[in-house]
Amino acid sequence: MPAAADTDRNTGEAAVTPPPAGVTDSTVPAPILRVNNIEVVYSHVILVLKGVSLSVPKGGIVALLGANGAGKTTTLKAISNLLHAERGEVTKGSILFEGEEVHSRSPSDLVTRGCIQVMEGRRCFAHLTVEENLLTGAFTRKDGKAAVAADLDLVYSYFPRIKERRKALAGYTSGGEQQMTAVGRALMSRPKMILLDEPSMGLAPQIVEEIFEIVKNLNGKEGVSFLLAEQNTNMALKYASYGYILENGRVVMDGEAKSLRENEDVKEFYLGVAEGKRKSFRDVKHYKRRKRWLA
Ligand X SMILES: Nc1ncnc2c1ncn2[C@@H]1O[C@H](COP(=O)(O)OP(=O)(O)O)[C@@H](O)[C@H]1O
Residue with Cβ nearer other proteins (86 or 283):
86
Instruction: Give how many residues touch Mg ion by CB under 5 A.
Output: 3
Cβ-count burial of 196 within 10 angstroms (0-12 exposed, 13-18 middle, 19+ buried)? buried
Residue with Cβ nearer ligand X (162 or 196):
196
**CA 155 – CA 181 distance, rounded (Å):** 9
By CB under 6 A, the residues from 78 to 117 that bind ligand X are 86, 88
Three-state secondary-structure class, residue 196: strand
Residue with Cβ nearer Mg ion (72 or 261):
72
Three-state secondary-structure class, residue 46: strand
Residue with Cβ nearer Mg ion (70 or 110):
70
By CB under 5 A, the residues from 96 to 135 that bind Mg ion are 120
**CA 58 – CA 24 distance, rounded (Å):** 15
**Residue 202 touching ligand X (CB under 6 A):** no
**Residue 11 touching ligand X (CB under 6 A):** no
Could you say which of ligand X, Mg ion, other proteins, none residue 184 binds, taking C-beta under 5 to 8 angstroms by partner kind?
none
By CB under 6 A, the residues from 48 to 77 that bind ligand X are 48, 66, 68-74
Q: How many C-alpha atoms does 27 have within 13 Å on its Cβ side?
A: 3
**CA 181 – CA 29 distance, rounded (Å):** 30
Cβ neighbours for 16, distance < 8 A, ≥ 6 positions apart: none
Q: Nearest distance from residue 247's CB to ligand X, in Å?
A: 10
Residue with Cβ nearer ligand X (168 or 271):
271
Please give the residue ranges that form the binding site for ligand X (CB under 6 A): 42-43, 46, 48, 66, 68-74, 86, 88
